Amino acid sequence: MKDLGSTIYVLGCVVAATILGLGVADYWAGYRQFTAFLFWVVLAAITWLVSRVALYVLAHATGDKARRIVGNFAKLPELLRKN
């Protein structure tokens, strides 16, 4: 499972770097709008973070622990509605 997590992480890093590159190109070639650049940065950070979480879950959670993590994640919307 760790190999799958590593593959997802590397792919996520490549996608995040591409998104960040697009943001820099948009900033230089566009109207130099800093808020638009920040949007690209946040989008790249989210992409990287999701791939990092996938790496962590697939590398450290095996068997019963993985089922509990997925089960708790599935319950998250219900728990948020209660609070």
- Domain coordinates of the chain in residue numbers? 2-82
Q: What are the start-end ranges of the H helices in 1-63?
A: 2-29, 34-60
Residues 58 and 5: beta-carbon distance below 8 Å: yes
- pLDDT: is 57 or 12 the higher one? 12
Q: What is the pLDDT of residues 3-48, one digit of tens each?
A: 888 899 999 999 999 999 999 999 999 888 999 999 999 999 999 9
Helix (H/G/I), strand (E/B), else coil: 69:
helix
CA distance 54 to 66: 12
Residues 41 and 20: beta-carbon distance below 8 Å: yes
Q: What is residue 9's predicted lDDT score, i.e. its pLDDT?
A: 94
Both structure tokens of 5: 């997590």
